[in-house]
């Protein structure tokens, strides 16, 4: 089974705030980025190896930066089924740091996290291994959802989520997930 993983488009973050599950607006460039993403997705679906396939269902993180993109793609692709929102598709939870400028986070807290972000959560945040388990559980569950094998299940989610999924697939340790490049608005084919 193949999934299409799509990262949301650029966000508007002029104050360099820490955001994971924090609601943040998309950039003013969203219409242009959406058009580019629709073009890339159409080209992907029309490629010789995928020409007999289509998108059958769309799953989305409940974050508005993902659901807005999911709704626009659903309309442009004429998908009749509703978007399936799943909390497990949310980005990493930075706890007390959410919505605060990175410059305002106490250095003692951030330096401890940066030294060992896999095992050290931000205050009241998520441990990276818990995040990884959340991603893995979603992937195990979606594998069991019946579908027409000619259809792609499409996931609209976040950069951290896609990095974790790719790290699992490629046996990359969590300590190296930030070496996996996942651009805004990127499309990743993921084989389960």
CATH code (residue 16): 3.40.50.1240
Parent domain of 150: 2-191
Q: Over its length of 192 residues, how does the chain's per-residue pLDDT go in tens digits?
A: 889 999 999 999 999 999 999 999 999 999 999 999 999 998 888 888 877 778 888 999 999 999 999 999 999 888 888 999 999 999 999 999 999 999 999 999 999 999 999 999 999 999 999 999 999 999 999 988 877 766 889 999 999 999 999 999 999 999 999 999 999 999 999 988
Token output for 55: 């998108």
Q: What distance, in Å, lies between the first and last C-alpha atoms of the chain? A: 5
Q: Residue 58: which of 39, 41, 71 has the closest Cα?
A: 71
Rounded Cα distance, 140 and 132, in Å? 12
Count of domains for the chain: 1
Confidence at residue 80, expressed as pLDDT on a 0 to 100 scale: 85
Distance of CA 95 to the CA centre of its chain: 18
What residues are paired with 182 via a beta bridge? none
Rounded Cα distance, 47 and 138, in Å? 28
Q: Name the H helices within the chain.
A: 30-46, 64-76, 107-115, 128-143, 159-170
Rounded Cα distance, 24 and 19, in Å? 7
């Amino acid at each position: 089974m193949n999934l299409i993983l799509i990262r949301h488009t650029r966000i508007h973050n002029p104050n360099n705030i820490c955001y994971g599950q924090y609601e943040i607006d998309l950039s003013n460039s969203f219409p242009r980025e959406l058009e580019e993403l629709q073009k890339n997705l159409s080209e992907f679906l029309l490629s010789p190896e995928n020409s007999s396939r289509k998108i059958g269902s769309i799953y989305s993180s409940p974050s508005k930066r993902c659901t807005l993109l999911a709704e626009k793609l659903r309309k442009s692709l004429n998908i009749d089924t509703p978007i399936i929102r799943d909390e497990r598709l949310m980005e990493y939870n930075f706890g007390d740091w959410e919505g605060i400028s990175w410059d305002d986070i106490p250095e003692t807290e951030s330096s401890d996290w940066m030294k060992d972000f896999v095992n050290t959560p931000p205050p009241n945040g998520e441990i990276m291994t818990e995040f990884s388990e959340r991603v893995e559980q979603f992937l195990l569950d979606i594998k069991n959802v019946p579908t027409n094998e000619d259809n792609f299940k499409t996931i609209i989610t976040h950069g951290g989520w896609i990095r974790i999924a790719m790290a699992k697939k490629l046996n990359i340790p969590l300590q190296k997930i930030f070496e996996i490049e996942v651009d805004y608005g990127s499309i990743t084919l993921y084989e389960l």
